[in-house]
Amino acid sequence: MAEQKNLTLKVYNNIKQMMLNYEIVPGQRLVFVDLAKELGVSRTPVNNALSILAKEGYLDFVPNQGYSVHKLTLEEAESLYEIRLILDLGIIEKAINHLTPEGLHNIKTRKKEYEASVESRVYRHVFQKDMKFHSAIGEMARNIYFRDIYTDIYQRIFLRFRTEQLAPDRLFEIIDEHDRLYNAIANKDIPLAKKMVKEHTEISKKNLFPLIFNEVSRRIA
């Protein structure tokens, strides 16, 4: 029983990583046989893993049709961004009050990793780099639940569209926004840091929503 649970968890993590790598894309129908063959396992752990992902909202299940990657709705996106902003604003002051040289170095490292990904045009993992930058800020607040919750919220947003839709100009703008937020944190300027977090989130929504929901703009946050 324990071995089966471990195998299911391994398959679950593998499928989610495939989604993060955009090897599985929004709207794509998932075939048990193909996934089992690709992951080198039987259908049972694949079925169990897909069932868990569906319960978590990452997949849709239709009887007699199977599973497909869930497409984000506007209502879901609004709600997720609202929670993201609440988390970011709620954690930033505590993070700055617990600022350490090690914590600041970690934020800077994550910032540089994002920059390197954008500048080298390796966009596949760019959102994971951005997520790690923001998570590094939250980690300074010494809240043991923040990273997992923030990661889940972030993934629910950014697992839902294709990387070929990315607009490089917006990704380079984020580098500047990260720089300004980092400097506010380094200077322990809580009001400015909160202002930067709010502006960053609002700009992100403004650029991302038209892309996800097929409106005119082709820019992205």
pLDDT value of position 27: 84
pLDDT value of position 217: 38
Indicate the pTM of the whole model. Answer: 0.81
pLDDT value of position 1: 62
Beta carbons of 198 and 92 less than 8 angstroms apart: no
pLDDT value of position 103: 95
Q: CA-to-CA distance for 45 and 13, rounded, in angstroms?
A: 12
pLDDT value of position 128: 84
Please give the domain boundaries of the chain with CATH numbers for all domains.
2-69 (1.10.10.10), 74-212 (1.20.120.530)
Beta carbons of 80 and 212 less than 8 angstroms apart: no
Would you write out the chain's pLDDT as a tens digit for each of its 221 residues?
A: 666 678 999 999 999 888 877 788 888 899 888 999 999 999 999 999 999 999 998 999 988 888 998 888 889 989 999 999 999 999 999 999 999 999 999 999 999 999 998 988 766 678 889 999 999 999 999 888 888 899 889 888 877 665 556 678 888 999 999 999 999 999 999 999 999 999 999 998 888 888 777 643 334 44
Cβ partners under 8 Å of residue 40, min gap 6: none
Structure tokens at 190: 């809580």
